[in-house]
Amino acid sequence: MDETERTRGVVSQYFATMAAREWDAFGELLSADVVYEMPQTRERITGRTKYLQFNREYPGDWTATVTRLIVDRTTAAGSMNFTVGDEEMVGLVYLELADGLITRITDFWPEPYDPPTGREHLVEQVVSATDRIS
Amino acid sequence: MDETERTRGVVSQYFATMAAREWDAFGELLSADVVYEMPQTRERITGRTKYLQFNREYPGDWTATVTRLIVDRTTAAGSMNFTVGDEEMVGLVYLELADGLITRITDFWPEPYDPPTGREHLVEQVVSATDRIS
């Protein structure tokens, strides 16, 4: 199996075990020194133990659906539609692997904003899309 | 050349010609019916002509640096650090290709926000990172 397909298997399991809250199986995909980063808040979590605790403690009755998975040797990018109660969000994630384990995860949570003026002659407003941003 | 490497070449040129504002060469990478989407504002631009005009007219003295490029057959994901005047932003983009041309582009612009409380025992604050979010 080539490197890209090995990574695809691990990252697919990452999303599947997250969605199912199977945290023991989720943890087996992570390197002991995994780094989890959220650039928007400048937060970083270091190590499998803390990152697992972060996920176990994460509040809210959320569900997640993968909408994109792009895999390239030992890196991957994914996107997810999240629902937390009445709120719908999109999560964008970049992953890096070494020796078949996830070593770095970078998460982004883009929020809706009002479109700037001056480009109305070029754009149309979309009601629904792949990405669930409410 | 396999499909992934062909896509890598086209998408690399997409970012290079954008950064250089070489809009004619940039346009040659796009299908005539290319769709450009910004889910955060629910905006969509349809067609090479309008998308080129959007880029040519885009205001501000911006510079862009690619920080990630992940390519998988006919799809790709990238991230960029943007500087517009004093403002620093991160742009995240997903691309889809057919017959060696870009058919769909989805752009996200995640903004900084305050970290929620309750996870201080797990996180540290990062001063600098790959992703330039000021």
Buried b / exposed e across A56-71, counting CB within 10 Å, b at 16+? Answer: eeeeeebebebbbbbb
- Give residue-wise pLDDT tens across range A36-57: 999 999 999 999 999 999 999 9
**Chain A environment of B37 (Cβ under 8 Å):** 126, 129
- Give residue-wise pLDDT tens across range A74-118: 999 999 999 988 889 999 999 999 999 999 999 999 999 998 888
Contact B79 A94 (CB under 8 A): yes
**Chain A environment of B59 (Cβ under 8 Å):** 118
- Give residue-wise pLDDT tens across range B51-79: 999 999 988 889 999 999 999 999 999 99
Contact A119 B57 (CB under 8 A): yes
Cβ within 8 Å of B, A 1-60: 4, 37-46, 50, 53-54, 57, 59
In angstroms, the separation between the Cα of residue A60 and the nearest Cα of chain B is 13
Predicted local distance difference test score (pLDDT) of residue A132: 84
Cβ within 8 Å of B, A 62-121: 68-72, 75-77, 79, 90, 92, 94, 106, 108-115, 118-119
* Cα three-residue angle A108-A112-A115, rounded to 5 degrees: 125
**Entry pTM:** 0.95
Contact A4 B123 (CB under 8 A): no
Alpha-carbon distance B53 to B46, whole Å?
11
The chain-wide mean pLDDT, for chain A, equals 94
How many domains is chain A built from?
A: 1
Predicted local distance difference test score (pLDDT) of residue B24: 97
A–B interface: beta-carbon pairs under 8 A: 152
Contact A125 B77 (CB under 8 A): no
Contact A124 B43 (CB under 8 A): yes
Beta-ladder partners of A102? A30, A97
Predicted local distance difference test score (pLDDT) of residue A97: 98
In the numeric block, which tokens belong to residue B113?
Answer: 């926000």
In the numeric block, which tokens belong to residue B104?
Answer: 């769909």
- Give residue-wise pLDDT tens across range B94-103: 999 999 999 9
Nearest in space to B43 (alpha carbons), one of A116, A101, A60, A4: A116
Considering Cα of A44, then A50, then A56, then A57, what sign does the dihedral take? negative
Share of chain B above pLDDT 90, in %: 79
Q: Where are the alpha helices (DSSP H) in A1-134?
A: 3-19, 23-27, 48-57
Predicted local distance difference test score (pLDDT) of residue A37: 96
Domain span holding position B77: 3-133
Q: Report, in angstroms and rounded to the nearest whole number, the Rg of chain B calculated over CA atoms.
A: 16
Predicted local distance difference test score (pLDDT) of residue B132: 84
- Give residue-wise pLDDT tens across range A117-134: 889 999 998 877 789 877
Predicted local distance difference test score (pLDDT) of residue A33: 98
CATH at A117: 3.10.450.50
Reported as a pLDDT band with limits 50, 70 and 90, residue A5 is very high
Beta-ladder partners of A64? A82
In the numeric block, which tokens belong to residue B5?
Answer: 């490497």
Among the partner residues A79, A111, A124, nearest to B111 by beta-carbon distance = A111
